[in-house]
């Protein structure tokens, strides 16, 4: 975590020249970056790790692991954290960090399931969840961009207060959803595939297009790569930063819908440790914590790796402590593997 702190604190300052040379800015893949090959190699390694884990899963539980229902279950479980990680990828690429995502999920999930909100029906619930996420994210963004509060601190404050507000609103109770329309839609299926998985796919598709094919995405890379250069190039860095955090908040709102659908309830305990899981997934996915470079596909694979690990361990009836150790080892292994490939190319 201290690493995160350091880097995000120096963010508004122009980066030293040496750093700029070493770190290629821009989206991954394709022909547009000189480092395209390197990034693809990273991605290949990640996919290799994921496949290796699936093979382990298949070998240890041949009857169930690759069954349709287990794959669907794993993707459903990956959905909420996956969507949160999309927002986190944008934030980290822009050179920031968002520690408040879990709390924003909790707040949105509670707000959209209060008796008052539920009484207005499913549409208002959805709108409410999205609006609360967006609003909380926007507060983060405004504080960071215009209030000049360091991202680590601003989102740490939101981390505490959003969950606090969620506890207050819910009186620390688990609010059970009774609106059938909401449950039927979000817990149901579309063309044989659960709605949550569709949502995950759509969010990643939109996220990918926005990041790699729009001015907004280009600007995000530019701001994260070198904020001062971006400003001199005519980008409204402050406004863009505010937008990026608002986007992360919106993703939390979407994740809240998913969590509420999955658990049929809203509670201030939802979204615990999402910030850590999301940052881990983003970093494993090859996004630089210092900003300026990253890929959404990597993030998605990072999320899936954790989901698969969780599934393997549960199906083999192993204890959670071993699972946590394995998680840590996988984070380090994945990062080291990628690190060593970039190293060799550089020298």
Partner 1 sequence: MSQDPSLARRRFLLGASALGAGALVVGCTSNDQANANSNQVAAGGGDNDQPGKEVKIGFSAPAADHGWIAAITKNAQAQAEAFKDVKLNATEGTNDVNQQIAQVESLVNDGVDVLVILPFDGKALTATAQEVMDKDIPVINLDRVFDTPLAYRTWIGGDNYRMGVNAGTYIADQMKAKGVSSPIIGEVAGIDSLPLTQERSKGFKDALAKAGLKVGPRVAAEFTAESGEKQTANLLQGATKLDALWNHDDDQGIGVMAAIDSASRSEFIMVGGAGSRDMMDRIKADNTVIKATVLYSPSMASTAVSLARLLGQNKGVADFAEHEIPAFITTYSAVVTKENADSYLDIGFDS
Q: Interface residues with partner 1 (CB under 8 A)?
A: 61, 63-64, 67, 69-70, 73, 76-77, 167, 171-174, 176, 187, 259, 262-265, 267-272, 310-311, 314-317, 319-321
CB of 166 to partner 1, least distance (A): 11
Q: How far is the CB of 24 from partner 1 (least distance, A)?
A: 37
Q: Decide whether 119 or 314 has the Cβ nearer to partner 1.
A: 314
Between 4 and 309, CB nearer to partner 1: 309
Q: Do the Cβ atoms of 130 and 262 come closer than 8 Å? A: no
Calpha distance 117→1 (Å, rounded)? 37
Q: Which is nearer to partner 1, 110 or 143 (CB)?
A: 110
Name which of 32 and 173 has its Cβ closer to partner 1: 173
CB of 259 to partner 1, least distance (A): 6
Q: Helix, strand or coil for residue 312?
A: helix
Sign of the Cα torsion 270, 244, 221, 210 reads positive
Q: Yes or no: say if 302 and 282 are a contact pair by the CB < 8 Å rule.
A: yes
**Least distance from C-beta 145 to partner 1, angstroms?**
31
Question: How far is the C-alpha of 101 from the C-alpha of 81, rounded, in Å?
Answer: 10
| Inter-residue contact 80 to 247 (CB < 8 Å) | no
Distance CA 334, CA 342 (A): 13
Cα–Cα distances (Å) from 148 to 11, 104, 243, 274, 291, in that order, read: 11, 21, 15, 25, 18
Cβ proximity to partner 1: between 7 and 76 the closer is: 76
Is residue 134 within 8 A of residue 250, CB to CB? The reply is: yes
Output 53 or 237, the one with its CB closest to partner 1. Answer: 53
Is 274 within 8 Å of 103 (Cβ atoms)? no
Which CB, 105 or 158, lies closer to partner 1?
105
Least Cβ distance, residue 310 to partner 1 (angstroms): 6
- CA dist 163 and 266 (Å) reads 12
Closest separation between CB of residue 10 and partner 1, Å? 32
Report CA-CA distances (Å) from 119 to 7, 107, 114, 181, 292: 45, 18, 9, 12, 45
Q: What does the block give as tokens for 205?
A: 């598709």
Of 259 and 301, nearer to partner 1 (C-beta) is 259
**Distance between CA 245 and CA 285 in Å, rounded?**
20
Residue closer to partner 1, measured from CB, 232 or 318 = 318
Q: How far is the CB of 194 from partner 1 (least distance, A)?
A: 8
CB of 298 to partner 1, least distance (A): 23
Sign of CA dihedral 323, 310, 87, 48: positive
Terminal CA-CA length for the chain: 28
Residue 6 Cβ vs partner 1, minimum distance, rounded to whole Å: 27
């Amino acid at each position: 975590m201290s690493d995160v702190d350091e880097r995000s604190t120096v963010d508004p300052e122009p980066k030293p020249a040496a750093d700029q040379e070493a770190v290629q800015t821009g989206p991954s893949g394709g022909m547009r970056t000189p480092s395209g090959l390197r990034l693809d190699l990273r991605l290949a390694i990640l996919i290799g790790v994921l496949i290796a884990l699936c093979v382990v899963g298949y070998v240890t539980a041949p009857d169930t692991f690759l069954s349709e229902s287990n794959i669907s279950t794993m993707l459903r479980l990956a959905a909420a954290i996956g969507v949160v990680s999309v927002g986190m990828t944008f934030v980290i690429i822009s050179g920031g960090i968002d520690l408040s995502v879990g709390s924003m999920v909790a707040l949105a999930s509670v707000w959209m399931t209060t008796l008052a909100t539920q009484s207005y029906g499913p549409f208002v619930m959805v709108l409410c969840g999205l609006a609360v996420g967006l609003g909380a994210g926007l507060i983060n963004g405004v504080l960071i961009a215009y209030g000049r509060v360091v991202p680590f601190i601003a989102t740490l404050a939101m981390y505490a207060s959003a969950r606090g507000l969620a506890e207050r609103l819910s009186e620390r109770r688990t609010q059970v959803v009774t609106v059938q329309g909401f449950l039927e839609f979000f817990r149901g299926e579309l063309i044989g595939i659960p709605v949550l998985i569709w949502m995950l796919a759509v969010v990643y598709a939109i996220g990918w297009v926005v990041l790699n094919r729009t001015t907004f995405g280009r600007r995000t890379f530019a701001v994260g790569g070198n904020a001062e250069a971006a400003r001199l190039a005519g980008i409204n860095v402050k406004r863009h930063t505010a937008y990026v955090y608002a986007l992360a908040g919106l993703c939390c709102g979407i994740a809240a819908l998913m969590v509420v659908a999955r658990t049929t309830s809203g509670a201030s305990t939802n979204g615990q440790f999402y910030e850590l899981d999301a940052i881990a997934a983003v970093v494993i996915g090859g996004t630089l914590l210092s900003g300026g470079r990253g890929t959404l596909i990597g993030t998605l694979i990072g999320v899936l790796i954790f989901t698969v690990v969780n599934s393997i361990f549960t199906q083999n009836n192993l204890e959670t402590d071993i699972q946590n150790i394995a998680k840590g080892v996988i984070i380090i292994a994945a990062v080291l593997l990628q690190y060593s490939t970039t190293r060799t190319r550089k020298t």
